[in-house]
Amino acid sequence: MSLMVRRQIPILIVFVTALIIMADYFLQLPPIDAVTKKSWTSSLVTDIQNWGIVLAAFALGFGAVNLSYLHTRHISRRTKGQWPFSIWLLLIIIIFAVTGIRYGATSSTYSWLYNSSYFALSATVYSSLGFYMTSGIYRALRARNLESMLLLIVGAIAIMRNAPAIAVAAPIVINMEAWISAIPTTSAQRGIMIGAALGAIALGIRTMIGRETGFLGRLTEAEKGG
């Protein structure tokens, strides 16, 4: 009974939910509504999707919960060089959450808070990788064999095309880049996409039939055996 409640029923839920959603897409299962001409699965799937949105909204709080666990430990242990920053981090979470919930996510107050801090930080963190890339380009990008030579040559042509002045001065790079984009890049990416799609379909089926149980999280010894 316990194993059924803890493991089998969640797997069954995955199976049934996925099956209903796929059935609605491919089939018109009777009874069909005479007015809307839609199957009974249509309104059920609409509801399920909307429930999924609400559940996903609840899941957005996980980041804050995990961070709180981690940083309260740092604070309680007075981790050297870390605990003052942990206090600041938890304070920021509280400030953002209270301001956003109190004034509204689209209020001018919250917008001001967002633009003063989060937006600038987000934009800068993303862009700072450009510096590491530059260092990597100088130190690590070597034409050691045919494959890396090919990567470098194609990359160099694309870099020249991306630089507007070079593209205007030497229009041949535009044609070369167009060919590289249309032929080797698209074809290789298509091959990768087809392989990945097959893998995703296989993973989906394995999850539905209970062969993949990663989504269950940690398993007890009894559950592992089952």
Partner 1 sequence: MDFNTVFQIWAAALFTIWVYSIAFRDNPFFKFAEHTFVGAAAGHEIVMGVDNVIRCGWTPFARGAFVYAVVFLLGFLLYTRYSKYFWMSRYPIAIMVGIGIGLSMRAAVTAEFIAQISSTAKIKVLGVDAWTGFSNILFIVLVLTVVYFFIFTFPGMHGGNLGIISRFARYGMMAAFGYSFANTILSRFNMIFGRLDFIMSQWLPLPGAMITFPVVLILLVYAMIPAEKRPWPKPIQPG
Partner 2 sequence: MGGSEQKGIWSRLENVPREILYGLLLIAFIIPMVRPIGFPIPISDESKRWYNWIENLPDGSVIMIDFGYSGGGEPELGPMAVAVYHHMFRRGGLKAIAMSTSTEGPLLWEKAMAEVNPGQYGAQYGVDYIHIGFITGTETAMAAVGKDLRATTSTDYKGVSLDQFPIMEGITDASSFDTLIVYTTGGDQSEGWVRQWYTPYQVPYLCSTLAMMVPTMLPYRNAGQIVALLAGATSGQMESLVGKPARGIKSADVITTTHILVLAYVVLGNIAYYASKASRKG
Q: Which of the residues 129 through 158 are near partner 1 (CB under 8 A)? A: 129-133, 137, 146-148, 150-158
| Bridge partners of residue 39, in order along the sequence | 32
With contact defined as beta carbons under 8 Å apart, do 104 and 114 qualify?
no
Contacting residues for 54 by C-beta, under 8 A, at least 6 apart: none
**Residue 7: how many CB atoms within 10 A of its CB?**
19
DSSP reduced 3-state for 46: helix
Partner whose footprint covers residue 35, from partner 2, partner 1, none (CB < 5 to 8 Å by kind): none
Site string for partner 2, 64-103 (x = CB under 8 A): ----------------------------------------
**Residue 149: how many CB atoms within 10 A of its CB?**
12
Closer residue to partner 2, CB minimum distance, 40 or 83: 40
The C-alpha atoms of residue 201 and residue 11 are separated, in whole angstroms, by 17
Binding residues among 129-188 for partner 2 as defined by CB under 8 A: 131, 134-135, 137-139, 141-143, 152, 155-156, 159-160, 162-168, 171, 174, 181-182, 185-186
Using CB under 8 A as the binding criterion, the count of chain residues that bind partner 2 stands at 57
Q: Which of 210, 201, 202, 206 is nearest to 9 (CA)?
A: 210
The residues of the shown chain that bind partner 2, judged by CB under 8 A, are: 25, 42, 45-47, 49-50, 52-53, 56-57, 60, 104-106, 111, 114-115, 118-123, 125-127, 131, 134-135, 137-139, 141-143, 152, 155-156, 159-160, 162-168, 171, 174, 181-182, 185-186, 189-190, 193
